[in-house]
Chain A
Amino acid sequence: MSYDYEKWIRPGKLPHIWCPGCGHGIVMKGLIRAFDTLGFKKENTCIVSGIGCASRLPGYIDCCTLHTAHGRAAAFATGVKMARPEMDVICVGGDGDGCAIGGNHFIHMCRRNIDMTYIVMNNKIYGMTGGQFSSSTPTGAKASTTPYGNPDPAFDIAKLAIGAGATFVARGTAFHATQIDKLIVEAVQHKGMSVVEILDDCPTTYGRRNKFKSVVEMMNNLKETTVPVKAAEKMTPEQLQGKVLTGVLYKEEGRSDYTTEYAKVIERAQAAKK
C-alpha cells in the first residue's frame, strides 16, 4: 500500500530538528500513514503537543497544530475538544512531557475518557534538555543527572493509562514501524480516550551514556526486549522475564465518552430551565 506523505507534510518546514537515528521521525511517518488511512481532513484535525523534541512534531504536519507549554498538551487539548467535539484531536509528546511534568493532566484526561488519542513517544529520557532522567528512565540507567545510576523506579506508561481509566491502550516500538500506524488507526477509531505508547530511542543523550554502540544496536534492543501480546499468551513466566508487551493491551467497549456525557448535562440543564 502506498501513502500520501507529501499531502500531510507542511511545505517548507523540513528538514526536521531530530538527530539522525532519533525514533520520533519514525512515529511521525506512522502518524501520517494513519491519517491517510483514516481519510482525515486537515481542517478538522488538531494535533496538540507540549515541549520537548517529540513535541516538535506538530510543526511539520499540515493541519491545525498547537505546540503548547511543557506538560500541558492534555489540558489544552481538553479545551479544544470540549469547544469542538467534532474535531479529531490527537496529542503527541515525550514521556517526560506527558507523564512527568504533565502526569496530572495525563491521568485525568484518561479518567474523563475524552474521545481523543494521546501518543507518548517514550525514549526513556529528557532528550531536548540534554539527557536528564525522566519518569520512565529504567532504574540503574545513566542520565546526565544520574551519574551513579538512576535510583528512581520507572513508570509503566501503558499501565498508568489503564489504571487511570483510558478505554484503549496500546504499545508499539519504533523498530516495529509498520505496526505504528495500525495501532494509531485502531486507537483513533475507538470511541473514548485512547493512549498509544511508542517505545523509541534517543541515541544522542541516552544511547551514548548507556553503552549502546549504535542506533542499530538500540533498534535491535527494542526488538529483543518486546513481545507481542498474542505471542506472550503462549510463553512461560521465565520466557517473559524482562520483556515488555506490545500491541493492543486494553480495550473497553461501551463506556460513554466525555463530550457525549457533557452533551447530556446540557440537555438536563435545558430541560430543567423549561
Chain B
Amino acid sequence: MSKKVAFLQGNEAAAHGAIYAGCTFFAGYPITPSTEIAEVCSVELPKVGGKFIQMEDEIGAMSAVLGASLAGAKALTATSGPGLSLKQEIIGYGCIAEIPVVIIDIMRGGPSTGMPTGPSQSDIMAAKWGTHGDHPAICLVPASVQEIFDETVRAFNLAEKYRTPVMVMPDEIVGHMRERIVFPEPGEIPVIDRTAPSVPPEKYKPYDTSFGDIPPLAAFGSGYKFHVTGLNKMEDGFPTTKAPIVQAEEERQVRKVEANKADIMKWEEYMVDDAEIVVVAFGSTSRSARFAVNAAREQGIKAGLFRLITFWPFPEERMLEISKKVKAFITPEMNLGQCNGVVRGCIEGNAPVYGIYHVDGEPVNPEEILKKMKEVK
C-alpha cells in the first residue's frame, strides 16, 4: 500500500499532525495567520470523536485546554502574536502545575496588532520569557510543511513525556506555504502518552518525586482525586511557602527540560564541518540561508548552515564548539536580533555574530545573506 500523499498548507499540516499524535481537544480564538488550524480542527476532530471549542478569547482558550488536559485529553490551542500575549499568564499556570499541552503560534509582525498578514519571527523570546517567573520552555521551529506535521507530533510527545506546555512556532511563511506532504502510517512516528500513576488512588500524589523529576499524572474523572493549584506547591499538590520546598520544586520544574536537553534539542548542520562562516537560522529564513550557502560554496566561500529545529532549549554547547572554528556567524531573522543575542550569549566572544534583520514584513532573501557573507569574509 502506498502512503497517503497530499498538497497541504503548513497550518493544515499542523492540525493533522496534532490528530496523528492523539489530540482530542482543541480550544482557540480566531486570529490571522493561524486560523486555518482552528478551522481544520473543527472539521477533523469530531470525526475522530474529539472536540473543538471556539472560546471567547485566548485566555479562555488557554484555560480550557489546561482543564481538558487535566481531565485526560491531549489538547491543542493555536494563535498568533496578540493571542500569544493574552495566553501568557495561563501558559505559566501550565508550567507550574505541570500540565501537558501544545500551543502553536504562527508568528506575525508585532508588537500589538502589528502586521496581521506579515511574516515574522519575533515571538522567540516571548516563548521563553513571555510568562512571568522562572519556568521550563520548549519551543520548536519547523521550516517546511512536512516538518510542521512531524514537529507537531513531536511537540505532543515532549509535552506528554515532560509534563509541560510545549510551543510550536512556525513563521507565517511556513504556516501558509503549500507543499507536498507524506502522511506517516499510524505507528510510524511513535506517539507518547503521559505516564499514568502506578499507585492506587489513595496513595497518589500529583507531584510525587519518588518517581523521578517527572511525576506521573492522573486524570480527573479516572478514579483519582487530587488538588491542582497555580501556587507553589508540595508533592501532594497543596500550596506551600516553605522556602526549601519552593526552591526545590522550582528547580525541578526547570530541570525537567534542562537535564533532558539532549532528547529535546534538534538541529540540522549543513556544510558546517569546514565552514568559516556559519549562518544560524530557523523557519523560512533557514530556507533562504540554504540557498545562500549553496551559492556561496559555488563562489568558493566556505559557508555552512546551522538550522535550528528546536529553538528552546537552545543548543548552547554545540554553538560554543562551532564558534571555536569559525570566522563569523550570521543570523538572518525576521525580528531585530533575537536569535543573534542568544548566539552571542553562548559563544564567549569567540567570533563576531552579524545580523540581518527584517521587521518590514519582507522575508530575508538569499541575496542579502550572500552579500553579508561577502562583506564579512
Contacts and interface: CB of A to CB of B under 8 A. Distances in A.
Interface stretch (B70-78, B189-197, B251-259, B290-298): B70-78
A258 to B, nearest CB: 9
B311 interface: no
Given A58-B227, A79-B25, A72 B63 contact: yes
Contacts of B93: 68-69
Contacts of B129: none
Contacts of A270: 46-47, 49
A82 B227 contact: no
A66 B72 contact: no
A46 B60 contact: no
Q: Which of A64, A79, A80, A86 has the most CB of B within 10 A?
A: A79
B238 A46 contact: no
Contacts of A78: 27, 53, 55, 60, 63-64, 67
State which size class the interface on A falls in.
35 or more
B63 A76 contact: yes
Nearest to B74: A83
Contact of A84 (B43, B55, B220): B220
A43 B53 contact: no
Contacts of B49: 266, 270
From DSSP, what is the main secondary structure of chain B's interface residues?
A: mixed
Given A69-B93, A82-B53, A84-B72, A75 B228 contact: no
B327 interface: no
A63 B237 CA distance: 13
Nearest to B93: A69
B238 A75 contact: no
B339 interface: no
B89 A79 contact: no
Given A64-B226, A66-B70, A43 B64 contact: no
Interface of A: 10, 13, 42-44, 46, 48, 51, 58-59, 62-69, 72, 74-84, 86-87, 104-105, 107-108, 262, 265-266, 268-270, 272-273
Given A65-B226, A66-B70, A66-B220, 14 more contacts: A10-B227, A51-B230, A59-B227, A68-B66, A72-B59, A72-B63, A74-B60, A75-B61, A75-B63, A76-B67, A81-B67, A104-B57, A105-B63, A266-B49
A-B pairs, top 7 by smallest CB distance, nearest first, are A79-B67, A75-B63, A269-B46, A79-B64, A83-B71, A79-B68, A76-B67
Interface of B: 24-25, 27, 43, 46-47, 49, 51, 53, 55-57, 59-61, 63-73, 75, 89-90, 93, 201, 220-231, 238-239
